[in-house]
Amino acid sequence: MAQLREMTSGPSLPLILNFTLPLLLGNLLQQTYSLVDAAIVGKFLGINALASVGASTSVVFLILGFCNGCCGGFSIPVAQKFGAHDYVTMRRYVSVSLKLTAVMSVVVAVITSLLCGFILRTMQTPENIFQGAYIYLLITFIGVPCTFFYNLLSCIIRALGDSKTPFWFLLLSTILNIILDLFFIITLGWGVAGAGIATVVSQGVSALLCYLYMYRKFDILKTEPSDRIFRKKLASQLLAIGVPMGLQFSITAIGSIMLQSANNALGTACVAAFTAAMRIKMFVMCPLDALGMAMATYSGQNYGAGKPERIWMGVKSATLMMVVYCAAIAAIMWGLADKFALLFISPDETEIMKDTVLFLHINTSFFVLLGSLSIFRYSIQGVGYTRLSMFSGVSEMIARVLVSLFLVPAFKFLGVCMGDPTAWLFANLFLIPAFFYVYRQLKESRKRNQVLANS
């Protein structure tokens, strides 16, 4: 049987740190997909091809963010029932979530594939990169089921306290992605399409391996026929948690689309700089995402075990780790941002290089805001208050829309650089009070339960 881990007792900092490290490595590998795609496309196919891949980044985030958010939401009741030792209900949640994912992923793939052209036109995609952007976006949307299932299965495995297994499968698929990228783009000459196909195939392999491993190695997931029945009540509960989490990502992405549309209107050079900078930013923010994901599982398990005070202990421990990392990465980026940019951009592209470095300097300087956002948002999600999390996405969207309408026209690419930090600030202004509201609710609920138990 695979090793499961409960985080409902013991010091919070080492528990969260040990759980976060495999998540971090997995996130780094996942971002390696994007880095490899962008690096190979930029070096072998040129700046226009790189801009084609990046022209729809925020749209991809909108759709895949919805899928990933739903998957994270579906895994929350699993973590809660695991923490409460209610394994029968836990297995039934897993079974229903797989069925929901099958239907939702196909519906999303079909609808988004049909709307590719309309989306890119609406975003003011430059004509010279439109065809490449369309092909890449279409392949990404066709592959939505692969992404959906991989994220669901890895979230379920992590909900049971195993953050290492998804990493090993992701490592294998990352190596496969690199090989396929080189083969499809250089050997077969498939261009931008080859980068998209390589990523979809690699994620499909990850999903398959997670599924096979999960049901062969986790004894507590081995189901009886009664566990595999589709239960409408459980499906409603899963959707009530998962859909708001998915919408939170999508609402956030709407603001990102507005920002990217404003950036697209600045021309191909700004699109290329934005693409390169975003790839690097997404890579270096992986520790903050991993820490947030760890807090979702940690909070969910302790909520299920009826230990709200441990959630607050975990938040304090995670914040300490976050501040140390943010200080370190800001110092590194202020010294080496131009070296990172050379992964995607030739040294003679001086204007693109300058804008890429500017974007990285500004964004990493405000990473503490992003780290706080991740910790508080995922902690709130882990205890099931996903609607509050969704409202924080609305705050981010409003901030990015305001930047797009006012700062970008006035300050051009500098305004684009301020989009994310402004959004992180707006989200924190909502999330921090929301967390303390949730924490008080949990403590009061525990007191009521104790009174009832003693009466």
- Give the integer Cα–Cα distance in Å for 181 and 195: 6
Q: What is the full DSSP assignment across 37-85? A: HHHHHHHHH-HHHHHHHHTTHHHHHHHHHHHHHHHHHHHHHHHHHHHTT
Give the distance from CA 152 to its chain's centroid: 12
User: Does residue 101 form part of some domain?
Assistant: yes
- Nearest-angstrom CA–CA distance, 339 and 201: 30
Question: Using CB atoms within 10 A of its CB, is residue 3 exposed (0-12), middle (13-18) or buried (19+)?
Answer: exposed
* Residue 55 lies inside a defined structural domain of this protein: yes
**Confidence check: pLDDT of 156 > 80:** yes
Contact 138, 200 (CB under 8 A): no
Residue 7 counted as domain residue: no
Give 261-278 pLDDT, tens digit per residue. 888 888 888 888 888 898
Residue-wise pLDDT for 101-122, tens only, equals 989 889 988 998 898 878 777 7
Cα–Cα dist 401/378, whole Å: 24
Euclidean distance between CA atoms 255 and 248, whole angstroms = 11
What is the arithmetic mean of pLDDT over 13-20? 86
* Domain housing 406: 12-454
Q: pTM here? A: 0.74
The Cα–Cα gap between 239 and 237 comes to 5
Residues 198 and 204: their CA atoms lie apart, in Å, by: 10
Spatial distance between the Cα atoms of 140 and 52, rounded to a whole number of angstroms: 13
The mean pLDDT of 384-407, rounded to a whole number, is 87
> What mean pLDDT comes out for the span 144-170?
83
How far apart CA 63 and CA 255 sit, in angstroms, is 13
5 in a structural domain: no
- Mean pLDDT for the stretch of residues 389-411: 90
With CA atoms as reference, report the closest residue to 425 among 390, 395, 389, 387. 395
Tokens of 151: 């994220």
In a domain, 36, yes or no: yes
Coil, helix or strand at residue 160: coil
Judge residue 222's burial from the number of C-beta atoms within 10 Å of its C-beta, 0-12 exposed, 13-18 middle, 19 or more buried: exposed
How many domains in the chain?
Answer: 1
Summarised one tens digit per residue, pLDDT across range 203-230 is 888 888 888 888 787 777 777 788 778 8
Report the SS3 class of residue 298.
helix
What is the chain's alpha carbon radius of gyration, rounded to the nearest angstrom? 22
Q: Tell me whether residue 3 is in a domain.
A: no
Give domain status of residue 57, yes or no: yes
Task: Examine residue 2 and state whether it is found in any structural domain, yes or no.
Answer: no
The 10 Å CB-count burial string (b at 16+, else e) for 103-134 is: ebbeebbeebeeebeebbeebebbeebeebbb
Neighbouring residues of 171: CB distance < 8 A, sequence distance ≥ 6: 25, 29
